[in-house]
Chains A and B, each alone.
Chain A
Amino acid sequence: MFDRIREIIADQTGKNADDITMETNVKTELEADSLDIFQIINDIEDEFDVKIENLEAIQTVGDVVKIVEENKN
């Protein structure tokens, strides 16, 4: 799951997927603004067939993975 989420995030932010880890901060390090995060979440929702509401908690890539796991269960 991490690899695919990393690809989606890299695609939207224009960064290299290899440089993205679970600890990477989406906002400060990847410079994703609110619209980038909306689109990342939309792509993840479509990819994993989940509905994600709690975007405020997202800081790191690990937070995104955690939210997807929580919403999948």
Chain B
Amino acid sequence: MIFSKITATGAYVPDMVITNDDMSKIVDTNDEWITSRSGIKRRHFSNGENTSDIAARTAEKIIQNSGIEPLDIDIIIVASVSSDYTTPSTACIVQSKIGAKNAVAFDIGAACSGFIFGLSVADKYIKTGVYKNAIVIGAEVLSKYLDFGDRGTCVLFGDGAGGVLIEATDEKTGILAEELGSDGDKGMALTGGFSPASNAFNKFNSNADRNLRMDGRAIFDFATRSVPKSVKKLLDDCNFNYEEVDFVIPHQANKRIVEIISRKLKIPMNKFYMNMDEYGNTSSASIPIALNEMVEKGIIKKGDVGVITGFGAGLTWGSMLVKI
């Protein structure tokens, strides 16, 4: 059987750091309020770089860390809800920027679960033998969709990108199992980038709202109920002992939500990696940024087995059991 082994990671975040105190100068909030409710202290915002720029920088780092030649890359998948253009896809722009002329490139949209969904798709191409390797990136410049007058949302999000290279192997490693799901009925609980169906013959007065809007309670409810269920199903379906989970990388939305997930799963907090204090919620980028940071800091090592779990707009969720 073919498995998809994670052979390299990479990440790139814009260097403009915005603290909670900086945010309190433009919106009615303060450091204590933001920190106590979310665990977020800082976020990085684009200083002009768009999503394809930070995705391409991430791809370059993955290439650097792996030694793969750009011409040998089979697929590039970018998960994003903040692409530069509707078309071309961010993945195609990345392909051009890194010179991966032989790759198939396309985007995938599953918001904060996007990296997991992208990885799942890439894994299937590899498992079926169609391709031998794939670069999967989560990249977001969410700051362009923030309403800086809405203190309930603008303080929570940040910009950044992260990704991995996966390669075919006969060894039982990499992506071992997955559990994905969607609940479109609750889609309006978290929206962004609305584009009304207006044209030259059908001009209606629409207050098109491009900004991110979130029903806090609905999302809290979803995250604290659906994520533990998803991870339980993932582990129970493959009879994996919870105590053998070396690490959990949850989507970095909110520290308080992660604490509830930990409590419900009875997996101790010291196994959950969190860095939302530095980056805020970077949607599809949060899991690969965290994974890359853990690899760089030597927190995870070859042979470790852990869970990566994303949840967010759609609504969507996805959990994977991965061996490093």
Interface residues in chain A, defined as those with a beta carbon under 8 Å from any beta carbon in chain B: 33-35, 38-39, 42, 55
| C-alpha gap A39/B216 in the complex (Å) | 12
| C-alpha gap A35/B38 in the complex (Å) | 9
| C-alpha gap A35/B219 in the complex (Å) | 11
Residues of B within 8 A of A39 (CB): 220, 224, 260
Question: What's the dominant secondary structure at chain B's contact region?
Answer: helix
Residues of B within 8 A of A38 (CB): 216-217, 220-221
- Say whether B36 faces chain A, with CB atoms less than 8 Å apart: yes
A-contact bits for B42-68, CB 8 A (1 contact / 0 none): 000000000000000000000000000
B37 and A34 contacting across the interface, CB-CB below 8 Å = yes
Q: Which residue of chain A has the shortest Cβ distance to B217 in the bound complex?
A: A38
B37 and A33 contacting across the interface, CB-CB below 8 Å = yes
Residues of B within 8 A of A33 (CB): 36-37
- Say whether B256 faces chain A, with CB atoms less than 8 Å apart: yes
Residues of A within 8 A of B216 (CB): 34, 38
Interface residues in chain B, defined as those with a beta carbon under 8 Å from any beta carbon in chain A: 36-37, 216-217, 220-221, 224-225, 254, 256, 260
User: Which of A34, A42, A55 is within 8 Å of B225, CB to CB?
Assistant: A42
| C-alpha gap A33/B217 in the complex (Å) | 12
User: Which of A35, A42, A55 is within 8 Å of B256, CB to CB?
Assistant: A35
Residues of B within 8 A of A55 (CB): 217
Least Cβ–Cβ distance between A21 and chain B, in angstroms = 26
Q: Which residue of chain A has the shortest Cβ distance to B38 in the bound complex?
A: A35
Residues of A within 8 A of B37 (CB): 33-35
Q: Which residue of chain B has the shortest Cβ distance to A38 in the bound complex?
A: B220
Least Cβ–Cβ distance between A64 and chain B, in angstroms = 15
| C-alpha gap A38/B224 in the complex (Å) | 10
Q: Which residue of chain B has the shortest Cβ distance to A55 in the bound complex?
A: B217
| C-alpha gap A39/B254 in the complex (Å) | 14
Residues of B within 8 A of A42 (CB): 220-221, 224-225
Least Cβ–Cβ distance between A47 and chain B, in angstroms = 14
Least Cβ–Cβ distance between A35 and chain B, in angstroms = 5
| C-alpha gap A32/B61 in the complex (Å) | 44
What are 21 A-B contacts with C-beta separation under 8 Å? A33-B36, A33-B37, A34-B37, A34-B216, A34-B217, A35-B37, A35-B220, A35-B254, A35-B256, A38-B216, A38-B217, A38-B220, A38-B221, A39-B220, A39-B224, A39-B260, A42-B220, A42-B221, A42-B224, A42-B225, A55-B217
| C-alpha gap A26/B32 in the complex (Å) | 19
| C-alpha gap A51/B256 in the complex (Å) | 22
| C-alpha gap A42/B254 in the complex (Å) | 17
Given known contacts A38-B217, A39-B260, A42-B220, what 17 new A-B pairs fall within 8 Å (CB)? Answer: A33-B37, A34-B37, A34-B216, A34-B217, A35-B37, A35-B220, A35-B254, A35-B256, A38-B216, A38-B220, A38-B221, A39-B220, A39-B224, A42-B221, A42-B224, A42-B225, A55-B217
Residues of A within 8 A of B260 (CB): 39
Least Cβ–Cβ distance between A22 and chain B, in angstroms = 24
Most chain-A CB neighbours within 10 Å: which of B36, B254, B256?
B256
| C-alpha gap A34/B36 in the complex (Å) | 11
Q: Which residue of chain B has the shortest Cβ distance to A35 in the bound complex?
A: B256
Q: Which residue of chain B has the shortest Cβ distance to A37 in the bound complex?
A: B217
Residues of B within 8 A of A35 (CB): 37, 220, 254, 256
Q: Which residue of chain A has the shortest Cβ distance to B220 in the bound complex?
A: A38
| C-alpha gap A55/B217 in the complex (Å) | 10
Residues of B within 8 A of A34 (CB): 37, 216-217
Least Cβ–Cβ distance between A11 and chain B, in angstroms = 11
Ranked nearest first, the 3 interchain pairs of A and B with the lowest CB-CB distance are A38-B220, A35-B256, A38-B217
Residues of A within 8 A of B254 (CB): 35
